[in-house]
Chains A and B, each alone.
Chain A
Amino acid sequence: DTAVSQTPKYLVTQMGNDKSIKCEQNLGHDTMYWYKQDSKKFLKIMFSYNNKELIINETVPNRFSPKSPDKAHLNLHINSLELGDSAVYFCASSRIAGGVKNIQYFGAGTRLSVL
């Protein structure tokens, strides 16, 4: 059983399209995250939700909109895709948001390619 699962694993699309990436965790965690890994492998947090409430919103274009229908799901919707959005997007979850018990478990990533 996959603890944090993301779909799809690969996404190839044209500039200007709208796409979504889904994330689900079956660990019973309260906090979920989206990270972006760019072409140089640099990882940076985008969003964090705790009990369906947004607690981190880094400087991300508002074309990116996370949605958390319940504690186990955090989806990422991207409007008007641009070439610079090409990256690997990771979903993660943790039992709590702070402290050393904040062990974040990552999904396998979604490689988004914008043509």
Chain B
Amino acid sequence: AQTVTQSQPEMSVQEAETVTLSCTYDTSESDYYLFWYKQPPSRQMILVIRQEAYKQQNATENRFSVNFQKAAKSFSLKISDSQLGDAAMYFCAYLGSSNTGKLIFGQGTTLQVKP
């Protein structure tokens, strides 16, 4: 069974600085997809960034980028120029190739942004 692990329960960053959130996963599949979701205090789950496993190029979305290391089964999220609005819980998620849409989430990392 696939698992997703986020080993950092909490992280903090100074406004305008860069922070990296870690995620590792375990799977025997070769084709899969990885996501980072953000959950601010409003509770709404918001997609931040996604990555196809077959793509070697790391995904980027404005200030958000990932470091995808397929062999190491690692999928970290880098937030550059952190803003107060980035404060939230961040979830790493795995989607396998079974075409059921079953997202498997990590435990989450709470990010605090200090002014």
Interface size class of B (residues with CB under 8 A): 20 to 34
Check A98–B50 contact: CB distance below 8 A.
no
Q: Does chain B have a CB within 8 A of A31?
A: yes
Q: Does chain B have a CB within 8 A of A45?
A: yes
Contact of A42 among B33, B102, B103, B105 (CB under 8 A): B105
List the count of A-B residue pairs having beta carbons below 8 Å apart.
67
Contact bitstring B97-112, A, C-beta under 8 A = 1, else 0: 1111111110110000
User: Which residues from chain B contact A44 at a C-beta distance below 8 Å?
Assistant: 105
Q: Does chain B have a CB within 8 A of A56?
A: yes
Chain A facing B: main interface SS: strand
Query: Which of A56, A88, A92, A106 has the most CB atoms of chain B within a 10 A radius of its CB?
Result: A106
Q: Does chain A have a CB within 8 A of B52?
A: yes
Check A102–B101 contact: CB distance below 8 A.
yes
How far, in angstroms, from A50 to B99 measured CA to CA in the complex? 10
Query: Which chain A residue shows the least CB distance to B97?
Result: A98
Query: Which of A43, A45, A97 has the most CB atoms of chain B within a 10 A radius of its CB?
Result: A43
Report the interface size for chain A: residues with CB under 8 A from the other chain.
30
Query: Which of B45, B47, B50, B101 has the most CB atoms of chain A within a 10 A radius of its CB?
Result: B101
How far, in angstroms, from A83 to B77 measured CA to CA in the complex? 36
User: Which residues from chain B contact A109 at a C-beta distance below 8 Å?
Assistant: 43-45
A residues 88-111 near B (Cβ < 8 Å) are 88, 90, 92, 94, 96-100, 102-106, 108-109, 111
- By a beta-carbon cutoff of 8 Å, the part of chain B in contact with chain A is 33, 39, 42-47, 50, 52, 89, 91, 95, 97-105, 107-108
